[in-house]
Amino acid sequence: MGGKFEARKVTAISKINPVTSWIRFDGDIYAQPGQFVMVWLPKIGEKPFSIAELNPLGLLVVDVGPFSHALQALQVGDSLWVKGPLGQGFSITGERLLLVGGGYGSAPLLALAKKARAQNITVDVCLGARSEAGLLLSDAFLELGCQVSYATEDGSLGWHGLVTDIVEQKIQAIAYDLLCACGPTGLLSALSNICKTHRLDNQLSWEAHMRCGMGLCGSCLVSQNIDELLPVGWLACYDGPVFYQKFRD
């Protein structure tokens, strides 16, 4: 069970843009793509992170506050503590996947794309952000042989508008077996509706304020007010973060 902390050493740390680092650790993690870990830095704090790479464990860290700032200041050889893997991740079904990432939501999708490509599954990726600088990991998806489309709200790269626009276009043009997505709640709600209309099976990774990460404190409830398709009392840390919605047999 994943309820204990385990020390891990940083083996590599690289900046992928001015505020975002890729941190790699010693050793693999036996997890599904989409599962997450709680990361503890003694005397500083603890936060949840989705797993961006399984072999070896890798995390995408964006400098948004004191904790992520401290993580980015780590040096190769430093230790941090990891609890997990926790929750339910993505489960690949079918021959053709559409992955949709909003901003930093592309991190867990990279681990998923890697696993799917290893099984020779066709993977199309739609990435959306406010501007080009917010589109993350696109080279990594391309290296895996994914077809990648972009949408930016300011039009700085790809489609000028919302990522849901290009998702609609792709779904109408191509018969996907499954849509997997990670990103802000508004994006996921919109995708949930699009999939409902097209009766497309989907797995959406919801974000919520996590505290214990162990299904006990109740902080990470994703309410039915956010998506009526969720069951009553759905916990992002235990039942999720990924929710499976099936329309087809």
Partner 1 sequence: MKHDPDISVKLGRLSLKNPLVLASGVMGTSPELLHRVALSGAGAVTAKSCGPTLRTGHPNPVMVAWEHGLLNAIGLTNPGVDDEVKLLMDAKQRLNPLNVPLIASIFAGSAEEFGEVASIVAEAEPDLVEVNISCPNVHDDFGLPFAADAKSAAAVTRAVKQKIGGIPIAVKLAPNVPDIGRIAKSVVDAGSDVITAINTMPGMVIDVDAAQPVLHNRSGGLSGPALKPIAVRCVAEIAQFVDVPIIGTGGVLTGRDAAEMMMAGATAVGVGSALWYRGPDAIKLIKAELQDFLRENGYKSVCEIFRKAL
Interacting residues toward partner 1 by CB under 8 A: 1, 3-5, 7, 38, 40, 42-43, 45-47, 79, 81, 83, 211-219, 221, 223-224, 231-233, 235, 238-239
Closest approach, Cβ 231 to partner 1, in A, equals 8
CA distance 243 to 249: 17
Token pair belonging to 156: 């700085």
Q: Whose Cβ is closer to partner 1: residue 109's or residue 221's? A: 221
How many whole angstroms separate alpha carbon 117 and alpha carbon 96? 10
CB of 2 to partner 1, least distance (A): 8
From the CB of 215, what's the least distance to partner 1, in Å? 6
**H helices of 53-174, where?**
66-72, 106-118, 138-143, 163-173
> CB-wise, 29 or 167, nearer to partner 1?
29
For the bound state, the minimum distance from the C-beta of residue 232 to partner 1, rounded and expressed in Å, comes to 5
Q: Which is nearer to partner 1, 44 or 76 (CB)?
A: 44
CA 204 – CA 245 distance, rounded (Å) = 8
Shorter beta-carbon distance to partner 1: residue 83 or 115: 83
Nearest-CA neighbor of 213 among 231, 233, 230, 236?
236
Query: Any residues with CB less than 8 A from the CB of 7 and at least 6 apart, and which?
Result: 79, 80, 81
